[in-house]
Structure 1
Amino acid sequence: MALHRTWAVALFGVDGVVVEIEADVRKGGIPNLHLLGLPDAALQESKNRVRSAVQNCGEDWPQRCVTLALSPAALPKTGTSYDVALACAVLAGAEQVPPERLDGTVLLGELALDGRIRPVRGVLPGLVAAVREGMTRAVVPVESLAEARLVEGIETFGAESLADVIAWLRGVGELDADPDVPDSGDVDDALRRPDLSEVLGQPEARWALEVAAAGGHHLLMTGPPGTGKTMLARRLAGLLPPLTRQESLEVTSIHSIGGLLPTGSPLIAEPPFVAPHHSTSLPGLLGGGAGLARPGAVSTAHRGILLLDEACEFGAKRLEALRTALEEGEIRLSRRDGTLRYPARFQLVLATNPCPCAPVRDVDCHCAPQARRRYLGKLSGPLVDRVDLRVRMRPITSMTMLPGTEPESSEIVRERVAHARATAIERWSDFGWQTNADVPGPVLRRQFALPAEATALLDRGVEVGAVTARGADRCLRVAWTLADLDRRPRPGADHVAAALEFRDRRSA
């Protein structure tokens, strides 16, 4: 019997590698099946799944010595997405199906014992890798066809069972080419986000939220319970512009690997909002797991919002672990089977009470000064220094709005944010940055340096030690955002002073 090949994809984070599967089916010896190429436990078990699926589809399993080699052999192979490719390799090696349509075709899917093809994670990033390495066709589970169609440059088909794939390979059947997208109903209701008009009072916090949305800045809100910290944070995503096509594919790839995509319409077009509970583990926050690590909350929030509500309850260890992601925009996870990289460029929103007892009024606090300092000390200086905007929440004194004092809606604020973002994109387009928060400090201090009279107050703050060098750079970024919202060509002294006030230590 001749050697025959099929192809699958191995995922390492959001990066994929096309795996060549060679099947050697020969006479002689005791009938058996050998699987080579560093398979994990789930992949080792595929030998039994594949045999049962082939037989239950009415095909003969070759009573011969079968050897399946997965290359590159040195790369660990994990998961169950190789099942369909393995089955087709065996059938082609036994000359039970013609090999012509297998050439240049990637096969993804997990097999049930009766031959049904079950969906797997990571179809989108897997097919992106397949296109990069010259594959021209892909067969995926029919439930994943809508996700597969997001990838350009490759012909995609959906299959419900192994029998459908076998019929297609023999030229006696066709596979689904159009995804079955369910009726989403009222799109406006489905996409509706909480509105800013529902939040009473808090003018300083509302302004900080607008600045954060316009410039992509991190935000810290401190105040007693019930003053609207969580409500405001949940309305930040509604102020952000929709994701670009490239950003949508990045976010969708991460959610695909995590198994979080909605069925039928998988493309994520809106910035994600992720709010893990304060009891979440370190792997749950950053990513982790046995073998090759899965994405955590920081990567799921890529291009969106990560809210840490009751931030001081997370503990210092988990909070300090965020520092690298905040600086570099990605997280690197080293595990037994290798080091993975996941994007993690998000806006961090921290919301916390000022002390453990969390009274509605400061005068009712029973905490000792040491207890208050110890509680807020969980937000370390290096972490808070990376937060551009800090705001102290006001106690709510009235639940009744006077006529003519209705708060602005998200739609009105979103228009100002969109204009400020467009201004920033136009200014930084030659450099490839999208928001003011992305701009490195040296660029702001050299190529876009402000006049001495504009930065005099900031220079004085650095001189007396009230602001660190990192904090000064972040003040300049906020000042540019304030100027964009004010529709000024460049920041003035008032913008720099307002940015410096956002870093007032008394607000933390």
Structure 2
Amino acid sequence: MYARTFSGTVHGIDGLIVTVEVDIANGLPQFDVVGLGGSAVKESRDRVRSALRNNECQFPIQRITVNLAPADMRKEGSGFDLAIALGILAASEQIKETPVKMLVLGELALDGSVRPVTGVLPILLEARRHGFTHAIVPLHNKAEAGLVDLNIRPVRTLKEAVRSWLHPNANGSENERLEEEEQSEEIILPHAPVLDQNVQKDAGDFGEVLGQAFVKRGLEVAAAGFHNVLLIGPPGSGKTMLANCMPSVMPGLSMEEAFEVTKIYSISGQLSAHGGLIGKRPFRSPHHTITAAALAGGGSHAPRPGECSLAHNGILFLDEMPEFSRAVLEVLRQPLEAGYVTIGRAKQVYTYPARFLLIASMNPCPCGFYLSPDQRECTCTPLQVMKYRSKISGPLLDRIDLHLEVPRVPVELLGERRQEELSATICKRVEHARAVQTKRFSGRPAYPFNSGMNGKDLRKHAQLNEDGKELLQAAFETLKLSARAYDRILKVARTIADLDNAEQLQAHHVAEAIRYRTLDRGVLA
């Protein structure tokens, strides 16, 4: 006897439809799962057997073979349990085939309850593309599944899954109908997106930061053009506080960006039970002890997104950047340049999106008081300072658009407690500059920001007047800039011009962009 159900798994950031074939034949009792499944898939045999027996279902005392196709791709996770159980019931003729094209996801507990799984959103998006009309998912995943235009049947137990399998469009008997009506507030799914606010912590407000007008202006430019920032200053100058205020001036996600971010968090299992579409830009702040695999993503068999991808379309904040190991920091070079992370394995290559705004902070030296004699005497030797700064390589530093010096706040200013410009006011200017860029790059919806301009875009949209050309040429020769630094100054100048509603780049736009290259100017040398 043969039956077939459909389930799914995640490959990279996309879903993969898996055909679950079940064959029951005469012979010695045996239960085999083939199709290149991982350890969690192999262990499904015991979970499925116990769940069927504990729900008044007959477990066939015959030779059972389950194949997960395509058989040449490795499959991880426990999301196939429910599909295997329904396939066994169908193959043993305990239930009939479902009349619709249905996808089944869910992990089974030993008592037959259905537990949540990860990656529901990308799997259901792929299912819709393949013509599926219905899906059975765990109740815990109902908000996430409701983002996809399918007939979703969230279930708590194996019995509910069987009912949904047999009657995908009906309520069944009168008793079943009454039971479902009692649970309707929890089960029926709206297709309207539900924002998950748990990805981003509460942001600060620039109105709470006293002084630091130059740094605030630089961060405004960074938010407007999605430019990477390095904050350099002594301890207590407000670097971390300034970085934590950045989300308050970042515009919300577009629908396309929101789906990308939500897919990544779904795969990582970091969507809350009641969360749906993520509407705020992520803010990730990993500890300096993080490993390269945790930052870029990875895993022995089925790689998962790392912090770079979890910060996609948002902010990645590295506090005290030189405290991170140099090998970990070098991982950032590819995503900062290309906007994605590539992870190679023996048989597969996985690509995860990782286009984020990098904000990093550092002290000028290990003790933090280099060139700050008004605060405290620096106790570091020149060798210690050089070793401290060498943690950040030249190529990595070249990929950071703005180097902002953050001086300590004078005590006189602390006593004034004057009203500073609020983040809401800054955000309006940022949104205006973003609107200009969206119109400019209308043919490139994936990344319509100035920081993503290529050489062709720079020649077309970053044209300098004569004074600007002379100034940039002089800076290039005097500061011995690289070609990449030259282009990044042009990109920052383009963003400054957008904030000023200027079509052509002027000399003062270029001058301001050069001011934001503190390390290139040798200010902290």
Give me the TM-score of the superposition, normalised by structure 1. Answer: 0.94
Q: Among residues 240, 245, 250, which one is paired with 2:250 in the alignment?
A: 240
Match of 1:354 among 349, 353, 364: 364
CA distance in 1, matches of 2:414, 2:463: 44
**Structure 2 residue 393 is the aligned partner of structure 1 residue 393:** no
Distance 1:230 1:224 in 2: 11
1:351/1:191 Cα in 2 relative to 1: closer, same or farther (>3 Å)? closer
- The answer to whether the 8 Å contact 1:227/1:393 transfers is yes
**Aligned with residue 147 of structure 2, among 147, 150, 167:** 150
Q: Distance in 2 between matches of 1:104 and 1:132?
A: 12
Using a 3 Å threshold, how does the CA distance of structure 1 residues 161 and 344 change in structure 2: closer, same or farther? Answer: same
Amino acid at match of 1:12: H
CA contact 1:224–1:361 (8 Å) conserved in 2: no
Q: CA deviation at 1:261?
A: 0.9
How do residues 307-346 of structure 1 correspond to structure 2 at under 5 angstroms?
A: 307-336=317-346, 338-346=348-356
Corresponding residue pairs, total: 499
State the shift of 1:338 in Å: 2.4
The within-5 A match list for 1:426-505 is 426-432=439-445, 433-446=447-460, 448-464=462-478, 466-505=480-519
Q: From 35, 45, 70, give the equivalent of 1:72.
A: 70
Partners of 1:34 and 1:426 lie apart in 2 by 57
Q: What is the alpha-carbon distance in structure 2 between the residues aligned to residue 259 and residue 31 of structure 1?
A: 36
In the other structure, the counterpart of 2:261 is: 251
Separation in 2, partners of 1:438, 1:464? 26
Taking the aligned partners of 1:400 and 1:449, their CA distance within structure 2 comes to 40
Structure 1 stretches lacking a partner, 5+ long? none
SS at match of 1:382: helix
Deviation at 1:164, TM superposition (A): 0.7
> How far apart are the structure 2 equivalents of 1:431 and 1:325?
19
Displacement of 1:120 in angstroms is 0.6
Shift of 1:446: 4.6
Q: Is the 8 A contact 1:243 1:269 kept in 2?
A: yes
Match of 1:100, SS?
A: coil
Following superposition, the deviation at residue 239 of structure 1 comes to: 0.5
Partners of 1:168 and 1:471 lie apart in 2 by 59
Cα distance in 2 between the residues matched to 1:507 and 1:83:
61
1:445 Cα deviation after fit: 2.3
Q: What one-letter code is carried by the residue in structure 1 that aligns with 2:153? A: F
Shift of 1:58: 0.7
| 1:25-40 alignment runs, 5 A limit | 25-26=24-25, 28-40=26-38
CA separation in 2, counterparts of 1:109 and 1:42? 13
Residue 81 of structure 1 aligns to a residue in which SS? coil
TM-score (norm 2): 0.91
SS of the residue corresponding to residue 61 of structure 2 reads coil
What SS does the aligned partner of 2:436 have?
helix
User: What does the per-residue CA deviation read over 1:46-93, in whole Å, with 9 as the maximum and x for residues that have no partner?
Assistant: 011001101111100111211111111101111100000010111111
Q: 2:314 maps to which residue?
A: 304
- Partner of 2:233 in structure 1? 223
Cα pair 1:292 1:338 within 8 Å, conserved: no
**Percent identical:** 39
Partner of 1:211: 221
- Whether contact under 8 Å (1:279, 1:314) holds in the other structure is yes
Asked whether the 8 Å contact 2:468–2:510 carries over to 1, the reply is yes
**Is contact 2:282–2:310 with CA below 8 Å preserved after alignment?**
yes
> C-alpha deviations, 1:447-483, integer Å up to 9, x for none?
6532333222112233456221111111111111111
Aligned counterparts, 1:116-131, within 5 A: 116-131=113-128
**How has the CA–CA distance of structure 1 residues 448 and 280 changed in structure 2, closer, same or farther, with 3 Å as cutoff?**
closer
Amino acid at match of 2:123: G
The two structures, once aligned, show a CA RMSD in angstroms of: 2.2
Q: Does the C-alpha gap of structure 1 residues 164 and 507 become closer, same or farther in structure 2, counting only changes over 3 Å?
A: farther
Q: Does 1:370 align with 2:383?
A: yes
**Alpha-carbon deviation of 1:393?**
0.9
Q: Distance in 2 between matches of 1:325 and 1:472?
A: 20
Any idea what the Cα deviations from partners look like across 1:203-242, whole Å, max 9, x if unmatched?
A: 1111111111111100000010110000000111111100
- CA 1:313–1:468 in structure 2 vs 1: closer, same or farther (change >3 Å)? same
Q: Name the aligned partner's letter for residue 492 of structure 1.
A: Q
Q: Counterparts of 2:235 and 2:417 in 1: how far apart (Å)?
A: 27
Residue 400 of structure 1: CA displacement? 4.6
**Separation in structure 1 between the aligned mates of residue 496 and residue 127 of structure 2, nearest angstrom:** 44
AA aligned to 1:53 is: A
- The answer to whether the 8 A contact 1:330-1:344 is kept is yes
